[in-house]
Amino acid sequence: MTNLKDRLVERLECKEAVIGIVGLGYVGLPLMLRYSDIGFRVLGIDIDPGKVARLNAGESYIEHIPAERVAAARDGGFEATSDFARVAEADAVILCVPTPLNKYREPDMSYVINTVEALTPHLREAQVVSLESTTYPGTTEEELLPRMEGQGLTVGEQLFLVYSPEREDPGNRDFETRTIPKVVGGHTPACSEVGLALYRPAIDRVVPLSSTRAAEMTKLLENIHRAVNIGLVNEMKVVADRMGIDIFEVVDAAATKPFGFTPYYPGPGLGGHCIPIDPFYLTWKAREYGLHTRFIELSGEINQGMPEYVVGKLMEALNQQGKALKGSRVLVLGIAYKKNVDDMRESPSVHIMERLRDRGADLAYSDPHVPAFPAMREHHFDLESVPLSPASLDEYDAVVLATDHDRFDYDMILAHARLIVDTRGIYRGTPADTVIKA
């Protein structure tokens, strides 16, 4: 059986292997492009026929990924399909599917489980399966392993199983798929060897770990670290505001210390697929061991309260002008979860918009990266982006600066908006009666 492992490792190292990527979103699509760029044949699998059609036409549906790169991959042999039976053609199968939370803030593993159950009838000898979706420690062993071995193949001898968490940061020009180190943990030593052979051709630095559980926990620690520190600075923002202190000035000053401090900046809440969600995967799993992750849960409580805090600051500001929020015209600036991208996943802007709508505000938004409010699983607005101009800004009682895109003309906004609720510190130090820090 060792020959199966050696044969697969050799095919990966010689770039003769076919790479199958399941889930062609913000994680899977850049990974596909990387493997295609270095000469692998890549097969993409996605349940969305619209995505499949666009990719096979050489088009991109993610703003920061140029269509030219997709077309070049297609011309180099990349093909997208919705047919899970074709996984048999792949030597490596990389799963990049969503792992959201349900309405009880518990892990929703349905995407992973449904994907694995669709794939397993078509798995064969000498394949490696790598899960990249962020999840709780134990997922790979508890959910993937039994389903894979249920087909009669032994993992570690005939099939190989690894966990390697995605670390994509959409819109970050300082890092790309190749330059972000890749953590890999295998179910067995043979699985680890195959996993390293899978990623080493594509990634500059691959970091081996002792197990899939250690790799799963590593991803959670990375994002819990950020969530807790953002929660801390968001709490300090509220305290500083009550004391009449500019928290952004304080963070900038603390960041001049060359050791022992890492700057985190406050905002309107957490966004993106990872930081608002991943900590709750560990809190949920910890309960199985009779443990309560109070630190994590407290930071989550603070961060989830930020959209309500922003709305409260807006209501106070309107009240000072003798206006109620109900019936006021409010323009939300930026609805992507972070600057300079079109990624809407878990965006705090959307939670702010829902609270404003529920309180009777006449709502609009402007975002140069999101021309129309997209179809989302839980959030629904029939809105299109409002072009910014002195005349359009004058139509609104207030604007809420929720996402600080570089393409906004902040001088024009300051000159013509009647009231600005600034959640990002863009107007820090700006003496203006119309700017409210939130």
Q: How many whole angstroms separate alpha carbon 392 and alpha carbon 370? A: 18
Fill in the DSSP letter of residue 83.
Answer: -
Residue 114 vs residues 118, 329, 389: alpha-carbon distances, Å: 6, 44, 47
User: Cβ(402)–Cβ(354) under 8 Å?
Assistant: no
DSSP bridge pairs for 79 = 43
Q: How many whole angstroms separate alpha carbon 372 and alpha carbon 332? A: 13
User: Cβ(343)–Cβ(334) under 8 Å?
Assistant: no
DSSP reduced 3-state for 2: helix
Q: How many whole angstroms separate alpha carbon 279 and alpha carbon 219? A: 10
User: Cβ(321)–Cβ(44) under 8 Å?
Assistant: no
Q: DSSP states of 236-290 as a string? A: HHHHHHHTT--HHHHHHHHTTSSSS-------SS--SSSTTTHHHHHHHHHHHTT
DSSP bridge pairs for 54 = none
DSSP reduced 3-state for 30: helix
DSSP bridge pairs for 45 = 22, 81
Q: How many whole angstroms separate alpha carbon 22 and alpha carbon 288? A: 30
Q: How many whole angstroms separate alpha carbon 329 and alpha carbon 163? A: 48
Tokens read off for 433: 């009666």
DSSP reduced 3-state for 163: strand
User: Cβ(235)–Cβ(200) under 8 Å?
Assistant: no
Question: Where does residue 156 fall: left (phi above 0), alpha (psi -120 to 50 degrees), or beta otherwise?
Answer: left
The whole-angstrom distance between residue 374's C-alpha and the CA centroid of its chain comes to 16
DSSP bridge pairs for 160 = 128
Task: Catalytic residue, from 14, 96, 191, 274: name it.
Answer: 274
Tokens read off for 143: 């959910």
The whole-angstrom distance between residue 404's C-alpha and the CA centroid of its chain comes to 18
Active site residue 274: yes
Would you please indicate which residues are annotated as catalytic (active-site) residues? 274
